[in-house]
Structure 1
């Protein structure tokens, strides 16, 4: 969560210069220690967001995404980068219409519509990155890199997993490394209901928060949805993939299962460490589904 006593005055002065006016300010941070976001408002209900990235890598990733991939989503469907400061790891962004789906209560039909558009946006985003040279190598090695982190997460999680659960995670991590090459792209990295915007007035979806964007395997972009939203709503899975333009291949579906196991362990490390019961519950539920053989 934002600490306004830190460097906020300097940041707000920088943002004011970039906007050419001094805005009114509201803290819009997520309830976690490293989240630093302000909503800036100018007369006429013109809104911007000032975001400070937790780490330089996240700043670099989000800046790249906003400059080279997010514009492909279309007007009003992603933030526009008004200004950036490598010194402060700060981004000054236009607002995207609507609110995150996670904060909304919609009819099932409207949820389906939002997720179908979300799938379309992911397809556009995946097609936007230029895959060449080191970027292609990074993407081709993404599954191996994910599998390599499994043992460290298991060690940290410790007794939160039973011996049988630990064995399952290790087996699925090993299987991830034996898969043939899968489709690769520039992925969002955190595409789920918290970052999928929906404007009921416009009937329009949008995407925000690109700090985890990177070159990787396409299927990695569906892990958050598969481990959370899709568990109870197969209709939203269908809608998202309809919007995306294709179903996952059998090999991608198996990779998704393997990646879900890694995500579960990560959640069981991250959730307790940051006192987030929702993340912890997501990890536990995913593991339970995998152990029961019902993850799909």
Structure 2
């Protein structure tokens, strides 16, 4: 959607007198509009790159995000054609861009643990479908996408971990964010943390929301891990097994979207 299209959509669905403020880069080359409205203050107009992402984010905002209260945006309007949503803007900047001292950083991660614990409890656990089997099948898609960016040895390692994951199933699935990283945690000037970007959200294995924090953030900052888990709760032995197996899937997907210049 063009900038003009986003502005026209906001005027059609929400406020004819909306004032555009600025534009932000979105997913996969999309642009997001930040605008001012008379009734709702500043809002975000976000287009979706696919109907699936649109359906997932609208569903999350209508069913699970309200449990977060004022720690997440509110859905104001949604359009299926073109697929887009309008949500309230939240104050602050992504946590990844904040320079915080140790105490403030630990406080932010305690809030993050509390937010994720609340989100995971926003719907009843489900055993069907068997997500371990689904993830094992989905792995073959990513192996195909990665092509010769990965070695045959790494390919075999990933498949072995997916077989081991499937042997653990079926496991209970809960509402998951599935992009739970500091770029989607908005930290305000008064230290409040809010969660955004729910287009990947769906039922899945809860430990998957910890994979990227475990492999990309916490090895360098174990204090943040301790602070997060103080609020979220300690992973069980089974959670740690799922984390180990899914870390290999996450590494695979990272290679699959890279230019074909390297091999693992």
TM-score, normalised with respect to structure 2? 0.90
Q: Does 1:213 align with 2:201?
A: yes
Q: Does 1:163 align with 2:152?
A: yes
SS in 1 for 2:128: helix
Match of 1:252? 239
Match of 1:86? 80
1:182 positional shift: 3.5
Match of 1:292? none
Among 92, 113, 121, the residue aligned to 1:98: 92
Q: Tell me how far apart the structure 2 counterparts of residues 130 and 84 of structure 1 sit (CA, whole Å).
A: 25
1:16 positional shift: 2.1
Q: Any residues of structure 2 matched to 1:50-129 within 5 Å, and which?
A: 50-75=45-70, 77-129=71-123
Instruction: List per-residue Cα deviations over 1:217-253 (Å, max 9, x = no partner).
Output: 1111112212311231222122112111x21111110
1:47 positional shift: 1.6
Q: Tell me how far apart the structure 2 counterparts of residues 54 and 178 of structure 1 sit (CA, whole Å).
A: 34
Match of 1:41? 36
Q: Does 1:204 align with 2:203?
A: no
Q: Does 1:265 align with 2:256?
A: no
Cα RMSD for the two superposed structures: 2.4
Q: Tell me how far apart the structure 1 counterparts of residues 7 and 258 of structure 2 sit (CA, whole Å).
A: 32
Moved over 3 A (4+): 42-46, 180-183
Match of 2:231? 243
- Structure 2 gap ranges (5+): none
Among 1, 4, 7, the residue aligned to 1:12: 7
Tell me: higher relative CO, structure 1 or 2? Use CA pairs within 8 A at least 6 residues apart: 2
Q: Tell me how far apart the structure 2 counterparts of residues 108 and 271 of structure 1 sit (CA, whole Å).
A: 33
TM-score, normalised with respect to structure 1? 0.81
SS in 2 for 1:47: strand
Q: Is the 1:144–1:177 contact (alpha carbons within 8 Å) kept by the matching residues of 2?
A: yes
1:51 positional shift: 0.1
Match of 1:294? none
Among 153, 167, 173, the residue aligned to 1:178: 167
Q: Tell me how far apart the structure 2 counterparts of residues 65 and 33 of structure 1 sit (CA, whole Å).
A: 21
Q: Which shows bigger deviation, 230-239 or 58-67?
A: 230-239
Q: Tell me how far apart the structure 2 counterparts of residues 81 and 124 of structure 1 sit (CA, whole Å).
A: 18
Instruction: List per-residue Cα deviations over 1:36-86 (Å, max 9, x = no partner).
Output: 3111134799321100011111111111111111111121x1010111111
1:131 positional shift: 4.9
Q: Is the 2:131–2:173 contact (alpha carbons within 8 Å) kept by the matching residues of 1?
A: no
Q: Tell me how far apart the structure 1 counterparts of residues 141 and 63 of structure 2 sit (CA, whole Å).
A: 33
